């Protein structure tokens, strides 16, 4: 809770989205942490090591996609407080291989307010270099956020 009083509705929504991310079973496979940094903005910090390598000794594109999609998704889902969004399309570009270390996925909402949302994300390695970028389209689902145990907890 901020030192100047109770959390705002937006802050409560952001913390609930962070709990939702942490509660997803898929995230037990990836050492990562989501932070909602403001309306339309998210950040996921994660580590790359040999467990995510492809046969040539660098991170497999699976981890690039997952983190880019999640960062863009959560940036977009800050813009709606009642429904879970679904990814309907995602385009990504690999710009540099990564072998190990901390990587940050930064998501930013671009457009959309009612039914369809567009957001983008980029991956930045420990040296500050961009290693990947993606843009996604997300659609409101019929799933109420309040019905998801991870969103409610807290």
Q: 3-state SS of 46-114?
A: EEECHHHECCCCCECHHHHHHHHHHHHHHHHHCCCCCEEEEEEEEEEEECCCCCCEEEEEEEEEEECCC
- Segments forming the whole domain that contains residue 76: 9-152
pLDDT band at 93 (very low <50, low <70, confident <90, very high): very high
2 is a domain residue: no
Report the CATH number at residue 121: 3.10.129.10
- CA–CA dist 100, 13 (Å, integer): 33
pLDDT band at 2 (very low <50, low <70, confident <90, very high): very low
1 is a domain residue: no
Residue 14 in tokens? 């952001």
- Give the chain's mean pLDDT: 93
Reply yes or no on whether the pLDDT at 153 is more than 80.
no
135 is a domain residue: yes
139 is a domain residue: yes
Q: Report the run of H or E that residue 142 belongs to, with start and end.
A: strand 130-144
141 is a domain residue: yes
Count of the separate structural domains present in the chain: 1
């Amino acid at each position: 809770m901020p030192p100047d009083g109770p959390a705002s509705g937006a802050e409560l929504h952001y913390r609930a989205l962070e709990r939702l991310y942490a509660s997803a079973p898929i995230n037990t496979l990836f050492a990562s942490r989501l932070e909602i940094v403001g309306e339309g903005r998210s950040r996921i910090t994660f580590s790359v090591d040999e467990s995510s390598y492809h046969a040539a000794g660098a991170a497999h594109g699976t981890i690039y996609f997952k983190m880019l999609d999640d960062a863009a998704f959560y940036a977009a889902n800050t813009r709606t407080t009642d429904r879970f969004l679904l990814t309907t399309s995602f385009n990504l570009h690999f710009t540099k291989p990564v072998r190990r270390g901390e990587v940050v996925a930064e998501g930013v909402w671009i457009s959309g307010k009612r039914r369809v949302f567009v957001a983008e994300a980029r991956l930045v390695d420990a040296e500050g270099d961009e290693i990947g970028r993606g843009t996604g389209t997300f659609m409101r689902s019929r799933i109420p956020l309040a019905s998801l145990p991870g969103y409610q907890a807290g």
